[in-house]
Amino acid sequence: MAQVHNVKLADFAQMTGRTTADAFAEKYKVPFFVVERHESYADSKEYHTLSPDIDNSRHTTEVSQPIQALPGVSFVYTVEKSGRNSFGNMITLGRSLNNDIVIPHLAVSKLHGILKYDREKAAYTFTDVGSTNGTSIASMKLEPNKPVQINSKDTLLLGGTVRTTFLGPRDFFEYMGVAGRKAQS
């Protein structure tokens, strides 16, 4: 499966009318991060939305072409390895282009955190690796280098500014349907 990078949620949401939740979950077996853009950085040059893979045909945006950022528009990332680093079974998240999930906002550290799938618990963990501005889940600030289990629908606040929601495939499908209806109204 090609990775999804910086795809506008409304574009992705158009799929909800053409498939079922079961078919979607079968196609996309990995969780998603929805990154919300707030008006507070609508005019900021701190958040760029060009895909890190724009010139790399091996990692392409599956659903749409790279797009321009719009105030208040959310973006979607698949939670999976990109091949841009050699950290084995860890999925890196940060501002640098060599991360698996690239969120280019200055509040996010170059290497902000690591996601890892725990097979025994059948769940993902997130570890803030000592980022400059920290990470919070449900208003609880994470301790650096201490893995915390994350569940579908959990909200992570990166650097005190960038709000992300971790969603399993079925929850993401439901979320897309809501986003699609909002985009049409």
Do 42 and 75 contact (CB within 8 A), yes or no? no
Higher pLDDT pick, 149 / 49: 149
User: How far is the CA of 162 from the CAs of 82, 117, 135, in angstroms?
Assistant: 21, 23, 9
Q: What is the pLDDT of residues 61-93, one digit of tens each?
A: 332 333 233 345 577 888 988 888 888 889 999
What pTM was estimated for this model as a whole?
0.76
